[in-house]
Amino acid sequence: MKDFYKILGINKSSSDNDIKKAYKKLAFQYHPDKNKSPDAESKFREISEAYDILMNSDKRRMYDNFGYDSVSGEIPQVNPLDLFQSLFNVDFTGLGENMNSNIFVFSDLSSMPFSHLKATMQYNLECSLDELYHGTQKEFNISHSVKNSSGGISQKSTKYVINVKRGSKSGDNIVVKEGGNYIPQLDKSEDLVIQIVELPHPRYKRKDNDLYVIENLTLCEALTGVDMYIDHFDGSLQVKISDIVRPNQMFQVFNKGMPIKHDNKSLGDGSDKDFGNLIIDLQIEFPESLGEKQKEYLKKILIHLDRKPKEGQLVHAYYYKDKEEVRKELMNEEEEGVGCIQQ
């Protein structure tokens, strides 16, 4: 089992900056163009894998909690061109091999352990849940290297206007062919991969295409029912609760979740089949205190709703009273202002 912390010579409390520094040092040391030892390439691969996992907060948390097996399927074959370009400000037009410079030259891409992979540049596009529900258009600028008229490398800022389909989710990718940095060894620009990043919502949580929300009910509402009005992405949503609600009960509203985005089109065109569900987590708020008369009043109301007592079980005296007799007592107490009851 690989120990990524040991590979980079750091510990579990190391910061992102510590990880980056360790990677830089080891990458220069074990780069196959500089280090001709038999294990240089495999060591260089391990260093790149360790950097990729530990610099990603989600992957690092999985690795820390569950070990290497939990992230082994998540390890991309990291393209060292991308790593060196981002960390060392690589200018691939330079041909010097001075170890003290910021220029790093790959003499033969075909000999690299990652050469079978496609070079890509990634940009994280942050979207709110509301934007992903309705779909949105996002504008942003990306700075990237291009081949200039003299054959050298220049920096260019390109404005992108991206249509994000409704129902998109974190991890969805939009690929712009050859929209990234220019790579001289390939004589072409790498692809730009725009990855959707869903921002947290203050009320709703998303699980796949379903939406989850917490709603509080009073004890009276939980027992007698209520018409709730929920602030939904499509406006105010009325939800009728008529049955008795038990603690931590979930209430499902069909077809009121996120639009379902398909490969070729984003649905959500009005068809009920194109949405996930809304899951309402019903939380019951109990009163902080009750007066003695209120307690007696509730006992008289609720005692006949209880299950029949087992033999030998102590029960309240009201259980053995006739229901009509109890109702009359409640009516009298209502007149005295203790409580209320519908005839």
pLDDT in tens, 1-22: 689 999 999 999 999 889 988 9
Alpha-carbon Rg for the chain in angstroms: 32
* Alpha-carbon span 162 to 176, nearest angstrom: 10
Quickly tell me which residue has 């917490």 as its tokens. Answer: 214
* Residue 116 pLDDT: 37
3-state secondary structure of 9: coil
Is the pLDDT assigned to residue 90 strictly greater than 50?
no
- Stated as kind and residue range, the H or E segment containing 156 is strand 153-164
Work out the mean pLDDT of the chain and round it to a whole number: 77
Cβ distance 20 to 50 under 8 Å? no
pLDDT in tens, 184-207: 877 888 889 999 999 999 999 999
Domain boundaries, the chain: 1-117, 119-200, 205-285, 292-335
Is the pLDDT assigned to residue 154 strictly greater than 60?
yes
* Residue 141 pLDDT: 93
Q: Which residue has the higher pLDDT, 154 or 118?
A: 154
Angle subtended at Cα 88 by Cα 86 and Cα 91, rounded to the nearest 5 degrees: 90
Is the pLDDT assigned to residue 164 strictly greater than 50?
yes
Is the pLDDT assigned to residue 49 strictly greater than 50?
yes
* Alpha-carbon span 17 to 23, nearest angstrom: 10
pLDDT in tens, 108-132: 333 333 333 345 788 999 999 999 9
* Alpha-carbon span 85 to 188, nearest angstrom: 15
* Alpha-carbon span 27 to 44, nearest angstrom: 6
* Residue 30 pLDDT: 84
Cβ distance 318 to 300 under 8 Å? yes
* Residue 328 pLDDT: 61
Q: Which residue has the higher pLDDT, 48 or 327?
A: 48
* Residue 78 pLDDT: 47
- Mark out the alpha helices in 34-177 (DSSP H runs): 40-54, 57-66, 80-88, 129-134
The bridge status of strand 235-241 relative to strand 226-232 is antiparallel
* Residue 151 pLDDT: 83
* Mean pLDDT, range 150-156, rounded to an integer: 87
Global pTM reads 0.55
CB-neighbour burial class of residue 317 (10 A; exposed 0-12, middle 13-18, buried 19+): exposed
Is the pLDDT assigned to residue 246 strictly greater than 60?
yes
* Alpha-carbon span 30 to 8, nearest angstrom: 12
CATH of domain 1-117: 1.10.287.110
Q: What six digits make up the tokens of 107?
A: 């003499």
Contacts of 3 (CB under 8 A, 6+ apart): none
* Residue 86 pLDDT: 54
* Alpha-carbon span 295 to 257, nearest angstrom: 41
* Residue 273 pLDDT: 59
pLDDT in tens, 209-245: 999 999 999 998 999 999 999 999 999 999 999 989 9
Among 174-183, 234-243, 269-278, 317-326, the least confident range:
317-326
SS3 of 203-269: the string is CCEEECCEEEEEEEEEHHHHHHCEEEEEEECCEEEEEEECCCCCCCEEEEECCCCCECECCCCECCC
* Mean pLDDT, range 249-273, rounded to an integer: 71
pLDDT in tens, 284-319: 999 999 999 888 888 777 766 655 555 554 445 444
3-state secondary structure of 42: helix
What's the topology of domain 119-200?
HSP40/DNAj peptide-binding domain (2.60.260)
DSSP secondary structure code for residue 33 in this structure: T
Within the chain, how many helices (H) and strands (E) appear?
9, 13
User: Contacts for 250-254 with beta carbons within 8 Å, 24 or more apart?
Assistant: 250/279, 250/280, 250/281, 250/282, 251/279, 251/280, 251/282, 252/277, 252/278, 252/279, 252/280, 253/277, 253/278, 253/279, 253/280
Q: Give me the percent of the chain exceeding a pLDDT of 90.
A: 38
What's the topology of domain 205-285?
HSP40/DNAj peptide-binding domain (2.60.260)
The answer to whether the 119-200 and 205-285 domains have the same CATH topology is yes
Is the pLDDT assigned to residue 326 strictly greater than 80?
no
Among 35-44, 69-78, 174-183, 231-240, the least confident range:
69-78
